[in-house]
Structure 1
Amino acid sequence: MWFFKKFHYYYTNIDDSLLGKNIFHEIYIFIDYLFNFLIQGSSLTNYFIYSFYSLRNAEKRKYVTWRRQRWIYRQCNDPDYIHKLRDKNLINEIFGDYLMRDWLLPDEKTFEQFAQFVADNPVFIAKPALGTEGAGVKKFDVSAADEAALQAIYEELQGKQYLLERYIKQHPQIHCLHPQSVNTIRLTTIRNRDGVNILTAALRMGRADSVVDNYTTGGIVASVDLATGIVSSRGVDKMHHEFIVHPDTNEAIIGRQIPKWEEVKAFVKKLGEVVPQVRYTGWDIAITEDGPVLLEGNYQGNFHVQQHPDHTGKFKLFKETIKRI
């Protein structure tokens, strides 16, 4: 039942005049989706995000769909090592030199150790160590909290496998887009015999009061030109709304220069060498005035972020890079 509800939600809410017509057209689109699942390996989300209902088969074959992304993961990532990029606690241990911030697991610490952490880092983020897509992330500001309030927060976080991190102070050119969230650059890499290859880059931005910038939870994403670091597409959300300026802050999206771009690319290439058995990774990079810092790595980095903003399928790009593994 949930599947049909999800299909109906996309059909009636995607911002596209080709959808949302009547029940007979919805049935036709559902049948078309089933054919696309069989032929293209398209998930339901792929089908609507990439507008497969309006594309010719030759165009659809260019996209990394659900089935094709599974092939990419199998070709690139050793299943015995992917846990190193699944557990955020392990990520922080392995990539500690690239975090540039304090972090703590409250489940493993006493209240006194927690109190010292928040004294040093009064604004911090709490996120589930095994969470995905920004689910369960909370932001705390305890600069005015007394001991009783701190005790209550400590107890609230106990037993839930939360990871605490100092809140990142972003570069002003990125912060201004949406001050409530840390707005990251998602860069996707594959390591082959040529070294670490950066294949795509996208700017991710939060919306409204959200403290996360995740596309799947309503955020906005825009493509970034790899050569220049300039945002090269309009912003888009998963419901196909497009933005030239950020709707909450009126800050320009397209044409924006990502600061410290050459540093960012060099930084990500170093990250791609740390766990050589995991060749494909989507890196979430925050940019501060001192340079790039790692937020986290994703061994199953989302392809919607890479293909939706510029409406360009990238399966050939990934296949050609994988050939040289």
Structure 2
Amino acid sequence: MPAEGLRIRTRLDYLANRARRLNLGSVIERAKEVSEQFGKPVPFVVADMFWQAAFHQVGFQDYCDYDFAILTKAERKTYMTHPLSNQLSQRYDHPDYRHLFQDKVAFDRTFSDFLDREWMVVEADNADEVEALTKRLGTIITKEPVGQAGTGVHRYHAADVEDWAAFHRGFFERGELLIEEVIVQHEALAAVCPGTVNTTRITTFFDGEKTHVLAMAQKFGRGEVSDQMTFGGFYTMLDPDTGHSKGAGYDSHAHVHEVHPDSKFVIADFQLPMIDEVIAYIDQVARVVPQVQYVGWDIVVTPTGPVLVEGNWGAGVYENKPSVTGIRTGNRPRYQKAIGF
């Protein structure tokens, strides 16, 4: 599909929506941070950010996160951006099937064969079952059916519960209707952060016959219930073919981690275990709902193999950060080769 094949209306709708939500003060603050880091004049950075947004589909945060201020024109063209990713999602993820990914209960039902852990839905008459499961597991994870970036995910310990009726009732009051067993991660992941289940984001495109791995990132937490940035997490890009880290970790808040702040593990030394099993596994997962072709999957490698956490039909973007890794190219060529845009 040629570049113009990414529908013009989708692009215009996206730009119009961004314009309505534009916070000029926030853009200027970002530009000041870029200026301070790279020695570029603030007016130049602001103008460049708007030019890239209007004519090259580069989000303001993309511009900052991927160090566009120091990249050449040719290097910039190798990066995936959130506006581009949004267009792929709108084109290749059928609206009638998106709810299977948005609703976490529907997701667990659809992908139950790939979860490899106990789970249940909280209902009005199953207080005894909730109590029995929580006591048996010791610790549980609860999720609100609809949430993103780690919001709506909670962790509870049976030892802390005094009133089981109130415990069950609270789930309804807070909208936490899905209970899951805590995943036991592989020792290679626990060595970096044992207190959080650290997920691997694998972005794929299923063309109807083959599953293409477009990008791979390893997220690390800080001991909280989620490894998302809202909980202090960060990520490092992985080589999609070998599973080896491409360098230090970073986030969208200008934090760089050569080593994990708590364990002191050197992030550039990380190697995702069982990489061949992971690739074979994600190929199976991507075929379950073929109508949703472009997905960002979160999986966890356990001692016995990968398990599925969730899938995001709005895949988002994880990319290289040149000032951290020294790598000045992104993953867009892999996307273009697989999808043809």
Mark the CA change 1:124 to 1:15 in structure 2 (over 3 Å): closer, same or farther.
Answer: farther
Deviation for aligned residue 1:85: 1.2
Distance 2:195 2:26 in 1: 29
1:318 counterpart residue number? 335
User: Aligned with 1:284: secondary structure?
Assistant: strand
Deviation for aligned residue 1:100: 0.9
2:188 counterpart residue number? 173
Name whichever of 190-199 and 306-315 sits farther off. Answer: 306-315
Deviation for aligned residue 1:201: 1.3
Equivalent of 1:6, from 26, 30, 33? 26
Residue 198 (str. 1) matches residue 194 (str. 2): no
2:126 counterpart residue number? 110
Equivalent of 1:226, from 223, 240, 256? 240
Distance 2:117 2:35 in 1: 40
1:238 counterpart residue number? 252
Name whichever of 216-225 and 119-128 sits farther off. Answer: 216-225
CA contact (8 A) 2:298 2:311 kept: yes
Trace 1:67-106 onto structure 2 (pairs within 5 A): 67-106=83-122
Distance 1:52 1:306 in 2: 12
**Cα-Cα RMSD:** 2.5
Mark the CA change 1:306 to 1:164 in structure 2 (over 3 Å): closer, same or farther.
Answer: farther
CA contact (8 A) 1:286 1:293 kept: yes
Mark the CA change 1:283 to 1:141 in structure 2 (over 3 Å): closer, same or farther.
Answer: same
Distance 2:92 2:311 in 1: 15
Q: What amino acid maps onto 1:320 in structure 2? A: K
Per-residue deviation, residues 300-320 of structure 1 (Å, max 9, x unmatched): 1221x2444655322232122
Distance 1:241 1:120 in 2: 39
Structure 1: give runs of 5+ residues left out of the alignment: none
Deviation for aligned residue 1:222: 1.0
Equivalent of 2:201, from 171, 178, 186? 186
Q: Which has the higher helix share?
A: 2
Distance 2:270 2:175 in 1: 37
Per-residue deviation, residues 170-226 of structure 1 (Å, max 9, x unmatched): 11110121122110111111111541111221110013x432111465321112223
User: Aligned with 2:300: secondary structure?
Assistant: strand
1:276 counterpart residue number? 290
CA contact (8 A) 1:188 1:301 kept: yes
Deviation for aligned residue 1:108: 5.0
Distance 1:152 1:128 in 2: 18
User: Aligned with 1:232: secondary structure?
Assistant: coil
User: Aligned with 1:254: secondary structure?
Assistant: helix
1:18 counterpart residue number? 38
Deviation for aligned residue 1:78: 1.3
Please, what TM-score do these two structures have when normalized by structure 1? 0.88
Residue 39 (str. 1) matches residue 55 (str. 2): yes
CA contact (8 A) 2:89 2:315 kept: no
CA contact (8 A) 2:215 2:331 kept: no
CA contact (8 A) 1:282 1:302 kept: yes
Q: What amino acid maps onto 1:218 in structure 2? A: G
Would you say how many aligned residue pairs link Structure 1 and Structure 2?
Answer: 316
Deviation for aligned residue 1:287: 1.4
Structure 2: give runs of 5+ residues left out of the alignment: 1-20
Please, what TM-score do these two structures have when normalized by structure 2? 0.84
Residue 132 (str. 1) matches residue 152 (str. 2): no
Q: What amino acid maps onto 1:183 in structure 2? A: N
CA contact (8 A) 2:193 2:263 kept: yes
Q: What amino acid maps onto 2:167 in structure 1? A: I
Deviation for aligned residue 1:49: 1.0
Distance 2:273 2:200 in 1: 11
Distance 2:307 2:273 in 1: 13
2:9 counterpart residue number? none
Mark the CA change 1:191 to 1:151 in structure 2 (over 3 Å): closer, same or farther.
Answer: same
CA contact (8 A) 2:32 2:42 kept: no
